[in-house]
Structure 1
Amino acid sequence: MEPQVKTIDDFVALVGDELGLVIDREDVGRHLDEVAGWDSVLLLGLLTALERETGRRVPFADVLEATSLERIYALAVGA
């Protein structure tokens, strides 16, 4: 299966579609505490969606240390 999350724009769309959290590219670089509506419950949903859409396991321990959505994206796509 071809990964569906290849770009940061794909990631932003995934966050909106899967989590119902409306973000833009600026929000991706913000500290998670600054992203309106973000909470730890959303993190679990995001990890599940990323693993399904990328076909890769995302290192959970590293994600827990991530301070931004941008870092979570990088971990998911191996950047």
Structure 2
Amino acid sequence: MSWKAVFESVQSLTEDVLLTPYNALRTMELDNWWMANFVSWILMAIGFVAFIYWMGELKKYDDNDEEDKTSTSHSFLGK
């Protein structure tokens, strides 16, 4: 088995199996804009929810004063 065969098998797996849903969405692009961008909308929604959750967690730790704010990264910034 050569390296070329390994890379061709990875290419075949990626194009024929893993990217099949995206190929189906690409064929719908001219027919329905909303269906073509469905994956983008879902990823944006997941990112928005994760951002809101993370900001809530940071607020919770800030309200509890659990963060050690005594040290600085450089000595010239103060104590």
Relative contact order higher in (CA < 8 Å, ≥ 6 apart)? 1
User: If the length of structure 1 is used for normalisation, what is the TM-score?
Assistant: 0.21
Q: Which has the higher helix share?
A: 2
Larger Rg belongs to: 2
